[in-house]
Amino acid sequence: MDWQQIASLCIVALSAALLVRSSLVKKKKRGSSACGSCDGCGNKERP
């Protein structure tokens, strides 16, 4: 294993973890009024 291989595997693991986390967080937020998953209606609230 060279350094590039190790580094690339780390990046892959990190992205996979982030992807899983983001899909879990989304599920939690969904529920009450806003649809939580939509990016289609343009109802982007300004913070």
List interacting residues with other proteins (CB under 8 A).
Answer: 2-5, 7-9, 11-12, 15-16, 18-19, 22, 30, 32-33, 35, 37-46
- Quick one: how far is CA 38 from the chain centroid? 14
Least Cβ distance, residue 7 to other proteins (angstroms): 5
DSSP per-residue string spanning 1-47: --HHHHHHHHHHHHHHHHHHHHHHHHHHH-SSSS-SS--SS------
Least Cβ distance, residue 5 to other proteins (angstroms): 5
Least Cβ distance, residue 12 to other proteins (angstroms): 4
